Structure 1
Amino acid sequence: MHHTASSHSGPDHGTPRTVAAHRQAFHDLLAAFARPENTEQLPLLAALGRGLAMDILAPLDLPPFANSQMDGYAVRSADIPDAGAELRITDPIPAGAAPAALETGLAAPIMTGAMIPPGADAVVPIELAEPDVFPVPGKAATVRLPPVLAGTFVRDAGSDVRAGELALAAGTCLGPGQLGLLAALGITVVTVYRKARVLLVTTGDEVVEPGSPLAAGKIYDANGTLLEAAMRQAGLDVLRTGISTDSPDELLLLLRRHSPAVDLIVTTGGVSKGAYEVVRQATAAQEVEFLHVAMQPGGPQGLGRFDGTPFIGFPGNPVSCLISFEMFLRPVLGTLLGSPAPRPAVKARLASPLTSPEGKHQVRRGTLLPDGTVRLEGGAGSHLIHALANSNALVHVPVGTSALVAGEEVEVWTL
């Protein structure tokens, strides 16, 4: 996505961009992240949390053979009439053994997961047998069994997935369940998208590093920690510099120094229309567009390229910054790279009323409660980081909705 330098001021004076349009602009800007050469092969456990770069077809049936769902007796169902039958007990079949064919009139003790012997077509659970305990191996014995339908308690070969079928689709986020499936299929190495490397720069003369003295008029930097943590959790490789001052020349030098080594630049602060907006000043000659998105919080945004490297300028307020990440960068990375997995979206009922600017998509912080209601945490302000820290969900109020009463349904993203 390329912008001309002349596009700096235009969008600020026009109609705000919709959330959907801005998310598409992110997608267009970062689309090259999903190119085929941006992949690597990793052993399964090293691929945890990564996005699968290509479809995986099952190389074998799963399970690879018909096996027993229960501890019991493998039988030929035709051997047992409606009144039941007394059958002679043959050699037991432990899990992992390759059994001989089951002859007519015999019942084979079989363990859960063990291979069904050729000829057998059903399993009678041990608790339905008389006696309901297995005999001592090698000792001649009989067992009385009730009638059973063919297929009962038998897991057929390929009943989970058949050889040649799609096991996992490209774009799947690899969690424990997905890696377990690959292991069950005998796969040891998987092709995933590389981690994107991100330069994260927080700006502002008023911001100081946590741990240093706090002079009058200064605040501790929350954005660096907040965004780096969110980015790492989303599978990004983060290069974080120290806080940049409000000197455009210093910021320009910092960006120039690091941009060749990263896939993406993300800054916080300095994107509004004030007189001292350092990010706007430092990127004045670049293909970066500054605009307003119809969203609260997080309206002011910057997007484009710095010396050809994709560039994102998030607002400086901590909550605006994180909401911007959650609304745009995180879902677009998930769509393009399969990682991170999407935030689960659920419907919940408001525990209290709310108001929202009609022309904006409002994102409130909330706590999703066990009874299916969501309690709002704090107000609509973009500085309420304590309310953010005590939330487990984002509450969405779409454009065109100015007020909702308690009990009304809203879409909620669980965090």
Structure 2
Amino acid sequence: MSPRRTALREAHGCVLAANVRATVAVPGFDNSAMDGYAARAAEVAAASEANPVTLPVSGEIMAGPVRPEPLVAGTVARIMTGAPLPVGADTIVQLEWTDGGTETVRINRAPRRGLHIRRAGEDIAPGNLVLAAGTVLGAAQIGLLAAVNVARPAVHPRPRVAVLSTGNELVEAGTPLGPGQIVDSNSHAIAAAAHEAGAVVRRVAGVSDDPEAFAEVFEELLKNTDVIVTTGGISVGDRDVVKQVLSKSSDVRFERIAMQPGKPQGFGVVDGVPVFTLPGNPVSALVSFELFVRPALRRMRGLPPRVTPLATQVPWQDGSAGLDPSSGAVTVVVGETLLSQSGKRTFPRVRLERDAAGELVATSAGG
């Protein structure tokens, strides 16, 4: 997807499309890191509990758009956290080391030169690389962009994904079930997976098996969607409406893939919109999403199309996930023989448990 400049409030979760270098310093000026008194270190060097130093307070410096007067020799200035340092001051006496006076102040400890002073540019200097292209913008990164005065970073926008489930037998979760009806779980699962993959998701549930009704909904989605994902309706039945309607377009191909689960698949680009047609079986649909849709969404977001292992979604009773966060992978010991069917690549469901040594062991969870 083509990069565009986006307001910070809309950039969260997007991937940065270009390097960002600072054009301003952070901090932008020398300032106090503590509430206390701006002072000259040499003038308070002898201060101690036994022999405090008392000096007049020449004024008060608040945080804000102020330019403080230079510090008069032999005095201190009361100063607040974040307030600009006056010329002449080279240390901050924190409030706790004083009696808190406003006209004169008794200083009970001697600060070293430079204590509690944040120098201009000590965090970020103009020209520094702040964030590299390819960075996913989370809360910390959004705050950093704001700190260097970037209001509209160039990002790869989050793809808009429509998740479409079909079937006259489907009803929404929470609905009493009638004869032959089942709850639509696929659209919820695939929509959640797309959201986890960084997409802006629209879920369109319960589309009729009527070809005209499906075609009408599909055509409308093409107008304002970057990706369409369907579940079900792509096998060999007379009522497999997705295949029935989309096979009329030479842009969508339906194949039987040498994998299990997830053998029936379809893909094409219609009016510039990628269309993934996934099987209707819930496990097949999720496996297919991980193998085919998630890598495509990552690529559209400006990320490498790495496939995330399905096992990374497993929680543990002890609160840990047993994962390597840098790779998104989990290493396990296979506790029994797991074989693919002849001529197919099989993605088995497994149960993960820790053995006595603390290693993760995978055993078949069944069909």
Q: 1:369 to 1:117 in 2, by over 3 A?
A: farther
Contact 1:57 1:168 in 2 (8 A): yes
- Equivalent residue of 2:113, what SS? coil
Whether 1:86 aligns to 2:53 is yes
1:94 CA displacement: 1.9
- Equivalent residue of 1:91, what SS? strand
1:267 CA displacement: 0.9
Whether 1:127 aligns to 2:96 is yes
5+ residue gaps, structure 1: 1-32, 346-360, 375-394
Report Cα offsets for 1:165-223 as digits up to 9, x if no partner. Answer: 23333344444433333333344444444443334321345434557774433312222
Measured in 1, the distance between the counterparts of 2:119 and 2:95 equals: 20
| More displaced stretch, 110-119 vs 226-235 | 226-235
Query: Which AA in structure 2 matches 1:265?
Result: I
Report Cα offsets for 1:290-326 as digits up to 9, x if no partner. Answer: 354767x656544333465312122323344345445
- Equivalent residue of 1:179, what SS? helix
1:266 CA displacement: 0.9
Whether 1:73 aligns to 2:37 is yes
| More displaced stretch, 103-112 vs 270-279 | 270-279
Contact 2:189 2:286 in 1 (8 A): yes
Measured in 1, the distance between the counterparts of 2:137 and 2:26 equals: 19
Whether 1:367 aligns to 2:332 is no
For the aligned residue pairs, the C-alpha RMSD in angstroms reads 4.1
1:178 maps to which of 141, 147, 150: 141
Measured in 1, the distance between the counterparts of 2:222 and 2:319 equals: 48
| More displaced stretch, 53-62 vs 225-234 | 225-234
- Partner residue of 2:253? 288
- Equivalent residue of 1:180, what SS? helix
Q: 1:67 to 1:294 in 2, by over 3 A?
A: farther
Q: How many residues align?
A: 329
**Structure with bigger RCO (C-alpha 8 Å, 6+ apart):** 1
- Equivalent residue of 1:316, what SS? coil
- Equivalent residue of 1:363, what SS? helix
- Partner residue of 2:180? 217
- Equivalent residue of 1:123, what SS? strand
Q: Structure 1 length as normaliser, TM-score?
A: 0.63
1:87 CA displacement: 5.0
- Partner residue of 2:84? 115
Q: 1:316 to 1:303 in 2, by over 3 A?
A: same
Measured in 2, the distance between the counterparts of 1:401 and 1:303 equals: 34
1:61 CA displacement: 0.8
Measured in 2, the distance between the counterparts of 1:196 and 1:263 equals: 6
Measured in 1, the distance between the counterparts of 2:332 and 2:265 equals: 18
5+ residue gaps, structure 2: 323-327, 337-351, 363-367
Measured in 1, the distance between the counterparts of 2:131 and 2:361 equals: 32
Measured in 2, the distance between the counterparts of 1:397 and 1:184 equals: 36
Measured in 2, the distance between the counterparts of 1:95 and 1:235 equals: 41
Contact 2:161 2:199 in 1 (8 A): no
1:276 CA displacement: 7.1
Measured in 1, the distance between the counterparts of 2:258 and 2:90 equals: 64
Query: Which AA in structure 2 matches 1:119?
Result: G
- Equivalent residue of 1:98, what SS? coil
Query: Which AA in structure 1 matches 2:127?
Result: G
**Whose helix fraction is larger, Structure 1's or Structure 2's?**
1
- Partner residue of 1:408? 359
Measured in 2, the distance between the counterparts of 1:154 and 1:73 equals: 11
- Partner residue of 1:384? none
Report Cα offsets for 1:229-279 as digits up to 9, x if no partner. Answer: 54456342526264242x778756754564355322211124568897654
Contact 1:204 1:243 in 2 (8 A): yes
Whether 1:309 aligns to 2:260 is no
Q: Structure 2 length as normaliser, TM-score?
A: 0.70
- Equivalent residue of 2:222, what SS? helix
